[in-house]
Amino acid sequence: MVAKRSSESSESSEESLAPKTVVAQGTFDILHPGHVHYLEQAAAMGDRLVVIVARRVNVDHKATPICSARQRRDVISALEVVDEAILGHEEDIFVPIEELEPDIIALGHDQHHDGSAIEDELAARGLECVVKRAGPREPKYEDELLSTRLIIDRILERRS
Amino acid sequence: MVAKRSSESSESSEESLAPKTVVAQGTFDILHPGHVHYLEQAAAMGDRLVVIVARRVNVDHKATPICSARQRRDVISALEVVDEAILGHEEDIFVPIEELEPDIIALGHDQHHDGSAIEDELAARGLECVVKRAGPREPKYEDELLSTRLIIDRILERRS
């Protein structure tokens, strides 16, 4: 079912067969298998995965990303499970959601976002969109570095 | 044409229509658009792209990779243009080439390998395989970091 404004007609069996768009989002500064896991889980929730890559100005809950937003978008675009990667909006993070009208927003397992606050904002904007959360990615090997922060810490430990 | 030992029958029109396997290889420590460009160019040289990811012990021309070989392989496997990613051989880098029998080995634009030395070694092992080199990736934006070393330098500059 294609995401639609709640004021529009309710679902029919025809609509429910329409491809589902999933939106995932994040910073994706230094790509690691945890990112891949999150995006694979997001892709599996629907038929088309669009990834919103946070601009530097929108990253206020952790250190400023090392790589530019465009570079991070270009790397995410190259992943097999990603149909499209776009940059986030500088002021209102819901603007691309309004444009994309996704059926599902997939949050990462450890992302700080409050799913129910997002659902409230979606409802306030008349968007019918479900918020789901991806499951955790357990380390496969002892030496996996499953966050950008861990990779950066290892770089500082080994190279500085 | 599937790669074959030179002692086998020479090519026929039927063989020349068979899918071509390309092998690319590298360290791929911190993924960036330069890696993506190299692998896209390699994939375009044939029909199936297998990437050999160097183990830490095989990286002797630059600093030891930050991420484990398995982690680097898992990230490379997730790229759309990559059909398969495998770890290199610890002692003899030509062992996976002998197993894969590729039609083409694609070197990265700035990789230190000597193409003609590789061709000589392939010939000595009876492998019919062409060595090609990918073109350079020009920066698209002013702030692109198109090497693992540049990304690590930026991390050390900003975070240490």
Segment A86-144, tens digit of pLDDT:
999 999 989 999 999 999 999 999 888 888 999 999 999 999 999 999 999 988 998 99
Q: CA A68, CA A27: separation in Å to the nearest integer?
A: 10
Instruction: Establish whether this prediction's ipTM goes over 0.85.
Output: yes
Q: Are B2 and B18 in contact (CB under 8 A)?
A: yes
Residue A52 has pLDDT above 80, yes or no: yes
Per-residue tokens: A133:
């959360």
* B-contacting residues in A 97-136 (Cβ below 8 Å): none
pLDDT in tens, B78-101: 999 999 999 999 999 899 999 999
Which residue out of A28, A29, A31 would a mutagenesis test of the B interface target, given it has the greatest number of B Cβ atoms within 10 Å?
Answer: A31
Provide the shortest C-alpha distance from residue A14 to chain B (in Å).
31
pLDDT of residue A5: 46
Q: CA A131, CA B64: separation in Å to the nearest integer?
A: 41
CB-nearest to B158 from A66, A71, A140 is: A66
Per-residue tokens: A76:
């995410």
B44 touches chain A (CB under 8 A): no
Q: CA A133, CA A120: separation in Å to the nearest integer?
A: 16
pLDDT of residue A57: 85
B158 touches chain A (CB under 8 A): yes
Q: CA A80, CA A85: separation in Å to the nearest integer?
A: 12
Q: Which H or E element spans position A41?
A: helix A33-44
Residue A149 has pLDDT above 70, yes or no: yes
Contacts of A155 in chain B (CB under 8 A): 66, 152, 155-156
pLDDT of residue A9: 46
Residue B54 has pLDDT above 80, yes or no: yes
pLDDT of residue B13: 52
Q: What is the mean pLDDT of residues B74-80?
A: 98
Q: Which H or E element spans position A73?
A: helix A69-77
Tell the residue number behind the tokens 């230094």, with chain if given.
Answer: A30
Contacts of B74 in chain A (CB under 8 A): 33, 36, 140
pLDDT in tens, B26-45: 999 999 999 999 999 999 99
Q: Which H or E element spans position A156?
A: helix A148-159
Least Cα distance to B131 among B139, B120, B147 occurs for: B120
Q: CA A70, CA A47: separation in Å to the nearest integer?
A: 25
Sequence-ordered alpha helix ranges (H) in chain B: 13-16, 33-44, 69-77, 95-100, 115-124, 148-159
Collect all residues with Cβ–Cβ distance below 8 Å to B142 and sequence separation of at least 6: none
- Is A84 in a helix, a strand, or coil? strand
Residue B127 has pLDDT above 70, yes or no: yes
State phi, psi for B49 to the nearest 5 degrees.
-110, 120
- Is B115 in a helix, a strand, or coil? helix
Q: What is the dihedral of CA B33, B36, B37, B43, to 10 degrees?
A: -170
The reply to whether the predicted model has a pTM over 0.80 is yes
Q: CA B112, CA A70: separation in Å to the nearest integer?
A: 28
Collect all residues with Cβ–Cβ distance below 8 Å to A67 and sequence separation of at least 6: A29, A30, A75, B32, B145, B151
* B-contacting residues in A 56-95 (Cβ below 8 Å): 63-64, 66-68, 70-71, 74-75, 78-81
Q: CA A71, CA A28: separation in Å to the nearest integer?
A: 10
Residue B14 has pLDDT above 80, yes or no: no
Q: Do A67 and B160 touch (CB under 8 A)?
A: no
Least Cα distance to A105 among A70, B59, A120, B81 occurs for: A120
More confident residue, A148 or B13: A148
Residue type, B75: V
Which chain A residue's Cα is nearest to B146? A71
Q: Do A160 and B158 touch (CB under 8 A)?
A: no
- Averaged pLDDT of chain A: 90
Q: What is the mean pLDDT of residues A67-81?
A: 97
pLDDT category of residue B18 using cuts at 50, 70 and 90: confident
Residue A72 has pLDDT above 80, yes or no: yes
pLDDT of residue B111: 86
pLDDT of residue B5: 46
Least Cα distance to A79 among B78, B153, B118 occurs for: B78
